[in-house]
């Protein structure tokens, strides 16, 4: 079955500044290009991909858009906009990014902000309303339950904004909680059709790194599908961050085996292809 990988990163340390990598001693602190992914991708069923921002600056977004234009299997980019400056956000969209067919959504590294309520600033809310006006979805890269609470408050202030929780907003896999505060909040969020879920990043979330398997993640994935339904879930590989927990093909093997146990073929097609194609307006025909 063909798959859209909804969460791929690239970064070039010569083209943009990645503040979160400063002082990082892991394998992530180097340039990553799509060419490095190809051998592993061909071991999987991933046919299409979406690039997702890794820095709160225009340079990262512009680099991704250039790569997308030059790469036939990349169908969209989730970029960055200065959400805390509504006028600049609007101008950037109207003058530049709305004219680029690969610009499909927006993300900000909210988990790197000191204030977990960063999204609730009046100026940010105004910018999120601009995204909603133009039908652009927003990726929420939350890491604590508070980020879920904030997202639910945002949904009331911007009721037309589509949002997706990246990496399931870090379920408590490592703590072996089923399902704690995360589960309580996710049940509440699931009642709101604005929210979608991205099954991604679970290898690193597990804390087991190279020893994680479907056994560690299946209960959390099933919980999410039960509450958000087949229609509001999609899957992403989170490369190269996922390399901290194993290679690309291993990551996809765990997700596919898990979903094979839970879903029939038609349901898998929804999660792997139809849902992300619609959510990000990728315009892939004959999925």
Q: What is the CATH number of domain 3-7+31-279?
A: 3.20.20.140
Query: Could you count the other beta carbons within 10 Å of the beta carbon of residue 1?
Result: 12
pLDDT of residue 210: 87
Report the distance separating Cα 41 and Cα 77, nearest Å.
18
pLDDT of residue 139: 99
**Maximum CA pair distance of the chain?**
48
Cα distances (Å, whole numbers) of residue 234 to 229, 240, 263: 11, 18, 13
pLDDT tens digits, one per residue of 183-205: 999 999 999 999 999 999 999 99
Question: Chain-wide mean pLDDT for the chain?
Answer: 97
Confidence band, pLDDT 50/70/90 cuts, at residue 143: very high
pLDDT tens digits, one per residue of 80-108: 999 999 999 999 999 999 999 999 999 99
Q: Across-strand partners of 3? A: 46
pLDDT of residue 160: 97
Residue with the larger pLDDT of the pair 22 and 1: 22
pLDDT of residue 287: 62
Query: Could you count the other beta carbons within 10 Å of the beta carbon of residue 238?
Result: 26
Report the distance separating Cα 26 and Cα 23, nearest Å.
9
Confidence band, pLDDT 50/70/90 cuts, at residue 285: confident
Does the pLDDT at position 216 exceed 90?
Answer: yes
pLDDT tens digits, one per residue of 252-268: 999 999 999 999 999 99
Contact criterion met (CB below 8 Å) for 257 and 216: no
25: buried, middle or exposed (CB in 10 Å: 19+, 13-18, 0-12)? exposed
Domain boundaries, the chain: 3-7+31-279
Cα distances (Å, whole numbers) of residue 29 to 8, 20, 22, 99: 16, 9, 8, 32
């Amino acid at each position: 079955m063909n798959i859209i990988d909804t969460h791929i990163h690239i970064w070039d340390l010569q083209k943009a500044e990645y503040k979160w990598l400063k002082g990082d001693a892991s394998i992530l602190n180097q340039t990553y290009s799509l060419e490095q992914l190809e051998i592993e991708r061909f071991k999987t069923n991933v046919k299409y991909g979406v690039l997702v921002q890794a820095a709160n600056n225009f340079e990262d977004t512009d680099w991704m858009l250039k790569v997308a234009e030059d790469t036939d299997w990349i169908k969209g980019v989730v970029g960055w906009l200065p959400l805390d400056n509504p006028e600049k956000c609007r101008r950037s969209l109207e003058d530049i990014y709305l004219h680029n067919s690969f610009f499909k959504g927006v993300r900000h590294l909210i988990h790197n902000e000191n204030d977990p309520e960063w999204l609730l600033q009046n100026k940010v809310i105004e910018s999120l309303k601009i995204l909603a006006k133009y039908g652009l979805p927003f990726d929420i890269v939350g890491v604590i339950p508070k980020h879920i609470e904030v997202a639910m408050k945002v949904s009331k202030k911007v009721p037309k904004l589509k949002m997706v929780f990246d990496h399931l907003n870090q379920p408590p896999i490592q703590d072996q909680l089923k399902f704690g505060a995360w589960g309580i909040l996710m049940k509440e969020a699931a009642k709101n059709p604005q929210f979608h879920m991205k099954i991604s990043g679970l290898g690193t979330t597990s804390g087991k790194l190279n020893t994680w398997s479907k056994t560690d993640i299946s209960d959390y994935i099933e919980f999410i599908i039960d509450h958000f339904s087949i229609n509001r879930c999609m899957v992403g590989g989170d490369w190269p961050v996922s390399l901290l927990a194993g290679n690309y093909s291993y990551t996809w093997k765990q997700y596919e085996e898990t979903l094979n146990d839970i879903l029939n073929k038609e349901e898998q097609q929804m999660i792997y292809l139809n849902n992300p194609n619609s959510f990000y307006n990728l315009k892939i025909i004959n999925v």
